[in-house]
Amino acid sequence: MNRRELLKQGATMALALSPLSALSAESIPPKSIREKPLPSKRPQGGVRIVVVGGGWSGLAFAEHIRRYLPQSVVTLVEKRESFLSCPVSNAWLFDLVDLEFLSHSYLDGANTHGYTYLHAEATDLDSRHHILKTTKGEIGYDYLLFATGIEYDYDVWCRNNPTLEHRLRTEYPAGFIAGSEHLTLKRKIANYHGGNFFITIPRGNYRCLPAPYERACLLADYIKQNKIKGRVIILDANNRVTIKEEGFLRVFKERYSKELLYISSAEIVSIDLDRKVIETEFEEVEFVDGSFYPNVRAPKLLERLGLTTQTPYNRIEANLDVYTNRFKGHDTIFGCGDLRPMGFSKSGNTAYTEGANVAKIVAKAIAKKPLKWVSPTTFCVSLVSSMPQQEMTLLSEYTYGERGETQFKYTSSDEAWDRNGLGKAHAQFSWAGSMYDRMFYL
C-alpha cells in the first residue's frame, strides 16, 4: 500500500483523534528555505523560536507555533536530510507499505507551515546570551524547544565495554530510531531461513510499548506463511506484557503457538555474540539472529548541557517541569516528545499532540498569560498478522497525582483482533497517512 492509496482514507482520522481538532488553521504563506543560520536580530513585532529535532513532536510544535504566533520566525534544526517515520515501520519491514509512505521532505513541511528548515546538528548552548550553537553556525533565539527524541542506553548490558556495545548497535540493531538500523533489520528478516530469532524488550518507559510485540507477531506470521523451521523468541525484561496484554497473549497462544515463544522476566545477565548465546537469570538461549532493544535515555547533548535528571522510568531523561514542559531553571527553554520524564507513552500520536499542546503553552508564555497543561493523547494501532491484516487499538489520556506523578485519566482498548475489522479497514495506515499529511502537506 502506498501513500496515494491512503490519502482519501486518512484525511480526517487524525483530526478526530486530536484534542486540537477544533482549531482553525490560519493561512500561512510559504517561507523561503535557507541552508544557513538565521541572523540574530529579532523580527519586527515577533519573536525568534528555534526547535531542535524534527521528529513527530518537533514537527507538531513548529506547525502549531506558527498558527498561534504568525509573526514569529521559527527555525527547525534537524540533522537528518529527510524524515523517516518510526511509527508504522514494522509494517514496512514485512512489505505491507512501501518506503515512500514513511519518507517525507522537511522542505515540504517548512514550506507548508511557514517555518525554516536548517539541516544541521545542535552542538552546544549559551543560554545566558540565548545562542544555540550548531554545525552550521550560531543561531540567536528568544525561545528554544528541544524535541530530540531518545538515544539507547546499553549500560546495563555492556558495563563500559565499548566493543560489545558497538557490536550490539551494528550487528543486532534495535530498530527503534528510524534510519539505517531499520534497513539492517529488514535485511536480517529477508535472510532468515530458520532457527531462533530473538527480540528483546527492555524495562522502563521505552519507545512505543506495543511495537516489539507487534514486530514479533509479524515475524511469527512471516515464519508461518513461509513454512520456515524456526521461531521468534521474545525475551521480555518485564514480568508481563506491558500493553494490550490480553490481546497479545491471546494471539501468541491461538495464532502463533508453534512460531513464537514469549518469556517474561527475562533479565539478560550476559551476551556471547561469538557463541550466539544469551544468558538470562534462569536459562541460556541460543540464536541465529535477532535484535537487541536496550533501555532508552535522553540524548547525551542534553546531559552535557545539564538539562537531565533521573526518573523511575529511565536512568537519564530531560529535567522538565511536568506542568509547563519548561526545563527547570530556564524560563525560555522547553522540551517535548520522547525525551520527557513523564510516564506518557513514547509514541507518535502522543508526541504529536504533546508538541501541539506545548506550542500553545509557549505562545501563552510569550503573551504573559497563565499556562494551562493539557494531556497529550495516546492512540496506537498494532498489527498482529498480515494475511489477513488484523489489528488492535488503544486510546489514553493522562493526569497527575498529588506529587506530580503520571496517572491515566482514562484508557480504552479494542483487543478483539480476530473480529473487530480494524485490519480490513487498514486503521493503522489510515491514521499514519493522515498524520503525515498534517505534518507535511496540509
Region 155-297: CATH code: 3.50.50.60
The grid cell for 79 is 540533522
The grid cell for 25 is 488553521
State the chain's mean pLDDT as an integer: 91
| Structural domain 18-150+299-374, CATH architecture | 3-Layer(bba) Sandwich (3.50)
Q: Is the pLDDT of residue 43 over 80?
A: no
Average pLDDT over residues 374-399: 97
pLDDT at 8: 44
- pLDDT tier, 294 (very low <50, low <70, confident <90, very high otherwise): very high
Query: Contact 205/341 with Cβ under 8 angstroms?
Result: no
Taking only the tens place, the pLDDT of each residue in 178-236 is 999 999 999 999 999 999 999 999 998 999 999 999 999 999 999 999 999 999 999 99
Domain with CATH 3.50.50.60 in the chain: 18-150+299-374, 155-297
- pLDDT tier, 311 (very low <50, low <70, confident <90, very high otherwise): confident
pTM of the model: 0.91
Average pLDDT over residues 88-116: 98
Taking only the tens place, the pLDDT of each residue in 113-123 is 999 999 999 99
Residue 310's CB is within 10 A of a number of other CB atoms, namely 12
Q: Is the pLDDT of residue 111 over 60?
A: yes
CA triplet 379, 79, 105: central angle to 5 degrees?
A: 60
Query: Contact 294/301 with Cβ under 8 angstroms?
Result: no
Distance separating alpha carbons of residues 155 and 143, to the nearest angstrom: 34
Taking only the tens place, the pLDDT of each residue in 141-178 is 999 999 999 999 999 999 989 999 999 999 999 999 99
- pLDDT tier, 313 (very low <50, low <70, confident <90, very high otherwise): confident
- pLDDT tier, 310 (very low <50, low <70, confident <90, very high otherwise): confident
